[in-house]
């Protein structure tokens, strides 16, 4: 039995009584598990597997696939405020889908769990446009993947360069405590620049990105 800290990024029904749950974990990157009996009335998983819940989980690794058996979860943190704000909830779903597109299953990525956790905290407390927090998350994720050009790169427009440099120098502050507000034209330039970087990395625009871009 293995243990790790994880955040639920997706779940869906597998049978009348079981769920498949996808996680971002501290030790294993993106992890997929089967929660057998999770939908039963007296299940020990009841109320613990909501989207973006942070849990201590134990699981038994499969020898035949990347779908492992979830054994036990202990709820550590619940981001309840996100479910009450539709726009922020949709953007957080986008961020979790982006992780699924970029990160292979069972591939440890140093800093990924902490990045997503800080983003969730920031989305709950940000006083500026919530889309700015998601752009900040995109920026840090690209950097984590080694696909963010250096701040001196000629493709980086001068006003955007200053924002990216500030975010890179202060990752915890920019993500978890909220970003400084930007004027709409600059916000659009930043969104367009990061969009080009995602096309270069993925070969296509990320799914559902245009739904929240200003």
The whole-angstrom separation of Cα 43 and Cα 45 is 5
Q: Tell me, what's the pLDDT at 151? A: 65
Q: Tell me, what's the pLDDT at 128? A: 63
pLDDT in tens, 19-44: 999 999 999 999 999 999 999 999 99
The answer to whether the CB of 98 falls within 8 A of the CB of 206 is yes
pTM, 2 dp: 0.91
Q: Give Cα 79 to chain centroid, integer Å.
A: 13
Number of alpha carbons in the 13 Å side-chain half-sphere of residue 190: 26
User: Tens-digit pLDDT profile for the chain (214 aa)?
Assistant: 999 999 999 999 999 999 999 999 999 999 999 999 999 999 999 999 999 999 999 999 999 999 999 999 999 999 877 878 888 899 999 999 999 999 999 999 999 999 999 999 888 887 666 788 899 999 999 999 999 887 666 667 778 888 888 888 877 677 876 667 788 888 899 999 999 999 999 999 999 999 888 7
B/e letters for 77-107, b = 16+ CB within 10 Å, e = fewer, are eebeebeeeeebbbbbbbbbbbbeebbeeee
Q: Tell me, what's the pLDDT at 150? A: 74
Q: Which two tokens stand for residue 87?
A: 């726009």
- Average pLDDT of the chain is 90
Q: Tell me, what's the pLDDT at 152? A: 63
The whole-angstrom separation of Cα 72 and Cα 59 is 7
The whole-angstrom separation of Cα 99 and Cα 31 is 11
């Amino acid at each position: 039995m293995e243990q790790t800290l994880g955040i639920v990024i997706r779940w869906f029904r597998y049978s009348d009584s079981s769920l498949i749950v996808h996680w971002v974990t501290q030790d294993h990157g993106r992890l997929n598990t089967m929660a057998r009996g999770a939908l039963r009335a007296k299940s020990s998983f009841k109320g613990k597997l909501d989207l973006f819940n942070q849990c201590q989980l134990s699981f038994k690794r499969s020898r035949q696939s990347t779908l492992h058996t979830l054994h036990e979860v202990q709820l550590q943190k619940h981001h309840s405020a996100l479910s009450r704000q539709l726009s922020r909830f949709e953007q957080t779903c986008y961020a979790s889908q982006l992780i699924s597109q970029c990160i292979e299953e069972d591939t440890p990525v140093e800093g990924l769990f902490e990045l997503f956790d800080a983003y969730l905290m920031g989305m709950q407390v940000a006083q500026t446009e919530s889309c700015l927090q998601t752009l900040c998350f995109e920026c840090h994720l690209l950097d984590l993947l080694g696909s963010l050009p250096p701040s001196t790169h000629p493709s980086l427009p001068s006003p955007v360069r200053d924002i990216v440099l500030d975010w890179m120098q202060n990752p915890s502050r920019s993500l978890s405590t909220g970003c400084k507000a930007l004027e709409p034209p600059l916000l659009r330039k930043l969104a367009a620049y990061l969009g080009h970087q995602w096309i270069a990395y993925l070969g296509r625009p990320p799914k559902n990105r245009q739904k929240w871009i200003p």
